[in-house]
Amino acid sequence: MRNELNRLIGNQNEELAATFLETEDFSIVARNYYARKLGEIDIIAMRDGVLHFVEVKSGQKDFDPIYNFTPSKQRKMINSAYYYMKSHNLDVVFSIDLIVVRWGEVEFLENVTM
């Protein structure tokens, strides 16, 4: 029951994140892209010729969901992004981004890798 509730809240927050991106002139390319053995990318979007791979983290507790974007998750996203571009024969500028949803408020952190 708790897992179902968490999944429902997560889906609602991903929808909120996608809507936010669209209002910021992004076009959504894919949602919940799964790269086999690498992981999932919540949202892939394009704006101004840059492909954005977006992770959505959300929470409604005292613990800030930004801390769930671990170095391991970041590595998996980078590898998944390269896999996506290779499998779609793309050679474009890309960005790994993070959207944090806290109590319905969206924070967009662009290009979170160094």
The structural domain count of the chain equals 1
Q: Which domain holds residue 7?
A: 2-109
Can you give the pTM of this predicted structure?
0.89
pLDDT-derived band at 114 (thresholds 50, 70, 90) equals: low
Phi, psi dihedrals of residue 21, rounded to the nearest 5° = -60, -40
pLDDT digits (tens, 9 = 90+) for 26-74: 999 999 999 888 888 999 999 999 999 999 988 766 778 877 888 888 8
Distance separating alpha carbons of residues 19 and 78, to the nearest angstrom:
23
- 111 contacts 96 by C-beta, under 8 angstroms: yes
Partners of 95 in beta bridges: 52
Query: Residue 21: its pLDDT value, please?
Result: 96
- 79 contacts 38 by C-beta, under 8 angstroms: yes
114 in a domain, yes or no? no
In CATH, what number is assigned to the domain containing residue 27? 3.40.1350.10
